[in-house]
Amino acid sequence: MAQSLMARTARRFTMPDLALAPTTGRLTPERIKTEVLSGLTVALALVPEAVAFSFVAGVNPLVGLYAAFLVGLITAAIGGRPGMISGATGALAVVMVALVAEHGVEYLFATVVLMGILQIAAGVLRWGKFIRLVPHPVMLGFVNGLAIVIFLAQLSQFQVPGSAEITGHGASGGTWLPPAQLVPMLALVALTMAVIWLLPRLTRAVPAPLVGIAVTAAVVIAFGIDVPRVGDLASIQGGLPAFHIPAVPFTLETLQIILPYAVILAAIGLIESLLTLNLVGEITGQRGGASQECVAQGVANTVTGVFGGMGGCAMIGQSMINVRSGGRTRVAGIAAALFLLSFILVAAPLIELIPLAALVGVMFMVVIGTFAWNSVRILARVPRTDAFVILLVTVVTVLEDLAVAVVVGVIVSALAYAWNNARRIHAKSYVTPEGAKVYQVQGPLFFGSAEGFAEMFDAARDPAVVIVDFADSRVVDQSALQAIEAVAAKYEDAGKRLQLRHLSRDCHRLLKRAGHLVLDSDDDPDYGLAVDYGVRTGIIGGH
């Protein structure tokens, strides 16, 4: 029941604009218009993000913009989930800053290439399927923490440019804008949010975020309101990205420098991308594609590294903007990348006039739509372990980063699961007419329950023949086998005979090699069926 409740909560509160039905894949003129306009909205929101993350990594803003263009274009074209948006992200930027500061930007490019190769390998080996191991409470904490991180990241826009230290988690320190700019900016943010909220009630012909940006920009330009604009961050004018082999020595020493960073970046990028893939997939009604997304991210980063980009991964905030605006196919992502390139090449003067307040308003609406508001209410109704995991992942996401939070959440969930299963093992016992005592073991036998298993037996008081029946149990790992061997050794020392029933052939062979057990399968009529069940279900080691 608790799981069903959390599933309903996620569907209702973490997925904005659910009224937009999944597309059938047919590109009608109306669909193409929606996709292109959605891509334009995303591209406008990508500009300040890419510039800000470039500052975080300590590189030129064009390095971040090129990454947003190349990674976004390639993953949109060949990624595992149409509708996803990728680009330069803060989670990767905070890892890159130390490498750039110590070794320079050329080493960053080489690291991004190696990062991409590792991600391609992960896709080819089909490691993307392991994202299925992320429990639902971790996903709820993930989206809640993500919403908070997106909110905190926007606070730097309310501060004097250059006065705040921008990280992947937001802005720290810094000086707030003077009241003459701060008050109008807050009013413009509210205006943008109001347009985005009201427009869908009137029409869905045009994406509401795009209209919100246009209306706010028109007000600022028409009335000459003095508020920060995109051009205050940095100039985005530039040319086409040029092919450039990273200028680093191709030596073992270079590999030793870049490999640790590449492994970390590849892992963070894949975790964020696969979680985004799952989130977008639930909204659009799509499944699968994890391994394909790993390969796409890898190809994108490999190409980006040789074209002077800082690399990237899926951007959950921008993906939510795209989905909220109606983007459902690859057209939207490709359009976003091409619009971004056009901004760099020809439209920079116009884009630099857009007030940051309009883009902040769009992101605030993403925050509202992303946060699982009802998850706060259900904390008292779900198991305490799940409630703790939701809160833990949320906090770690804000304090550290999304990838660390997910790993921590999975570990805690796994430990809680192991503890709960360790307490489930017990045995029913009875004495046969022949005088043998039978222990019917129930519950999984693994490292967590091995000690409890050993405590169930009384070798000193039991009769000369003891039968242990594993029909209702599972022998999971080497610790379980060791526990069985230890129990057998106690009965052997007491001069008594131990028989095991309903074990798979693998377990039989392993235990027989121990030399302590008397194995008797002649009186085990269900033995063959037990082996067949183990083979059919693919359980390693069987029962």
Mean pLDDT of the chain: 83
pLDDT of 309 over the 90 cut: yes
pLDDT of 88 over the 60 cut: yes
Task: Retrieve residue 315's tokens.
Answer: 């951007």
> Ranked by mean pLDDT, which of 204-208, 282-286, 358-362 comes out on top?
358-362
pLDDT grade for 167, boundaries at 50, 70 and 90? low
- At residue 471's C-alpha, the angle toward residues 425 and 498, to 5°, is 85
How far apart CA 362 and CA 357 sit, in angstroms, is 9
Residue carrying structure tokens 């939701």: 390
User: In sequence order, which residues have a C-beta less than 8 Å from that of residue 148 and are 6 or more positions away?
Assistant: 367, 371, 394, 397, 398
pLDDT of 255 over the 90 cut: yes
Q: Tell whether the torsion through CA atoms of 372, 374, 376 and 380 is positive or negative.
A: negative
- At residue 304's C-alpha, the angle toward residues 298 and 305, to 5°, is 90
Looking at residue 203, its pLDDT comes to 84
Looking at residue 14, its pLDDT comes to 38
- At residue 41's C-alpha, the angle toward residues 36 and 42, to 5°, is 95
pLDDT of 509 over the 90 cut: no
The predicted model gives 335-348 an average pLDDT of: 95
| CA 80 centroid distance within chain | 14
Nearest 10 degrees: Cα torsion 247, 253, 258, 263: 140
Closest by CA to 480, choosing from 541, 414, 437, 426, is 541
User: In sequence order, which residues have a C-beta less than 8 Å from that of residue 208 and are 6 or more positions away?
Assistant: 195, 196, 197, 199, 200, 324, 325
Output the CA–CA distances (angstroms, integers) from residue 2 to 5, 12, 14, 386, 421, in the order listed.
5, 15, 17, 9, 18
Burial class (CB in 10 A: 0-12, 13-18, 19+), 181: middle
How far apart CA 38 and CA 330 sit, in angstroms, is 11
pLDDT of 16 over the 60 cut: no
Domain segments of the chain: what residues?
A: 2-9+29-171+230-412, 424-537
Longest dimension (CA), the chain: 99
Per-position DSSP letters for 34-93, written without gaps between them: HHHHHHHHHHHHHHHHHHHHHHHHTS-HHHHHHHHHHHHHHHHHH-SSTT--EE--HHHH
Output the CA–CA distances (angstroms, integers) from residue 95 to 143, 166, 365, in the order listed.
22, 13, 28
Looking at residue 258, its pLDDT comes to 96
Which DSSP symbol is given to 467? Answer: E
pLDDT 10s digits, 35-71: 999 999 999 989 988 888 888 888 999 999 999 999 9
> Ranked by mean pLDDT, which of 63-77, 137-151, 350-364 comes out on top?
63-77
Q: Tell me if the pTM is above 0.75.
A: no
Contact 485, 454 (CB under 8 A): no
Q: Tell whether the torsion through CA atoms of 506, 510, 511 and 513 is positive or negative.
A: positive
Residue carrying structure tokens 């450039």: 244
The predicted model gives 241-261 an average pLDDT of: 95
pLDDT grade for 370, boundaries at 50, 70 and 90? confident
Task: Retrieve residue 54's tokens.
Answer: 């470039």
Residue carrying structure tokens 């993403």: 366
Architecture of domain 424-537: 2-Layer Sandwich (3.30)
pLDDT of 83 over the 70 cut: yes
How far apart CA 87 and CA 73 sit, in angstroms, is 9
pLDDT of 251 over the 90 cut: yes
